[in-house]
Amino acid sequence: MSLRLLVVEGNTRRSRERHRADYGLTMSESYAEVLRSIAPDAICDIALPTDEGANLPDAAGLESYDGVVLTGSHLNAYDGGPEVMRQIELARAVYRSGTPMFGSCWGIQIGALAAGGDVRRNPLGRELGFARKITVNEAGRAHPLLDGRPAVFDAPVSHLDIVAAMPADIDVLASNAPTPVQAAEIRSQGGTFWGVQYHPEFGFGELAAIIARFREPMIAEGFCKGAEDHAAYVEDLRALHREPGRTDVAWRLGLDEEVLDPERRTAEIRNFIRFRVRPEKSRRGRA
């Protein structure tokens, strides 16, 4: 029997349309493609909770899914508003349903907020491009979310905010110098969430499309010296998208197989499906 997965898009309609214009797919459509590449038997539905009047699943609907995945977003949770609150309430409902839940970046922030944590702007600034030296702690070394990851690794990333106050029931699994929660398991209301602050779902083409939008902040914050420097960085990412074997570009960007190899780059999503989604599906008698 096929897996039934729900992909929850964190972006507003305007941001979704811009991402599609820049990359060819919305963030949720791209995430669904990654999920299907990992689990070819997966049927992926998409939910758009930022849209007023969106047809979101009720409790029975959530229980009918084998897994729920939360995407990234351009929003900042501390700005509040109905677009944010609908996502928090949906995550709370997923917790109550007991359906396995996973989130990237904004996803882990929503997972934390729904469980009583808090999110704030990172006082150390933005992480953009690649999160460096993500370090797996003792709990992470024993956790299936990070199965196959080395003790220290890099990953695609784009975020300004972090989980700043921990939910009551959380295991932090990995961190790095600018971000104290890079991977975690959160338990709330009878449900379990696995999440990461980085983006294992991002390939080089999608990351290039996002970085291209950040020219002014990247220059202002010292990531790039100017527009030419920024354009060269974006072109390097696009080159790796077109020609994954470009060892010269990989060397210039300081990337190893944890980022270059699609299977290793998406390890957390693969582990979520392998260790959470399929076993829970079997436990529920759907296998």
Instruction: Give me the chain's average pLDDT, please.
Output: 97
Q: What is the pLDDT of residues 125-184, one digit of tens each?
A: 999 999 999 999 999 999 999 999 999 999 999 999 999 999 999 999 999 999 999 999
CA–CA dist 206, 215 (Å, integer): 16
Selection from 139, 149, 124, 197 nearest residue 170 by Cα: 139
Helices (runs of H) and strands (runs of E) counted in the chain: 14, 11
Query: Distance of CA 145 to CAs 17, 51, 115, 167, 254, Å?
Result: 32, 31, 19, 19, 25
Go through the domains of the chain in sequence order and give each one's CATH number: 3-201+266-283 (3.40.50.880), 204-257 (no CATH)
Kindly report whether the global pTM for this prediction surpasses the value 0.85: yes
Nearest-angstrom CA–CA distance, 101 and 191? 8
Summarize the confidence of residues 255-266 as an average pLDDT: 98
Minimal CA–CA distance to 182: which of 115, 261, 127? 127
Band (194; pLDDT cuts 50, 70, 90): very high
Q: Given a cut of 90, is residue 269 above it in pLDDT?
A: yes
pLDDT in the model for residue 287: 61
pLDDT digits (tens, 9 = 90+) for 110-139: 999 999 999 999 999 999 999 999 999 999
- In the sheet with 3-8, reading across from the earlier edge strand, the strands are 42-47, 3-8, 67-70, 101-104, 191-196, 183-188, 170-175, 127-136, 152-159
CA distance 59 to 24: 33
In this prediction, residues 197-217 reach a mean pLDDT of 97
CA angle 174, 29, 126 (to 5 degrees): 40
Provide the token pair at 208: 């290039």
Q: Give Rg (Cα) of the chain.
A: 18
Q: Give helix 204-213 / helix 227-242 axis angle, nearest 10°.
A: 160
Tokens standing for 146?
Answer: 């990070």
Instruction: Write the burial class of residue 30 (CB in 10 Å: 0-12 exposed, 13-18 middle, 19+ buried).
Output: buried
Cα–Cα distance measured from residue 196 to residue 184, given in angstroms and rounded to the nearest whole number: 6
DSSP character string of 224-252? -SSHHHHHHHHHHHHHHHH-TT-HHHHHH
State both tokens at 48: 């758009």
CA 13 to CA 200: how far, in whole Å?
Answer: 23
Question: Residue type for 141, please?
Answer: R
Q: How confident is the model at residue 285 (pLDDT cuts 50, 70, 90)?
A: confident
Catalytic residues: 105, 199, 201
Q: How much is the pLDDT for 89? A: 97
User: pLDDT at position 216, please?
Assistant: 96
Q: pLDDT for 28-56, tens place per residue? A: 999 999 999 999 999 999 999 999 999 89
Instruction: Determine the pLDDT at residue 235.
Output: 98
Share of the chain above pLDDT 70, in %: 99
Q: Kindly compute the dihedral angle of the four CA atoms of residues 33, 73, 156, 253, in this order, to the nearest 10 degrees.
A: 110
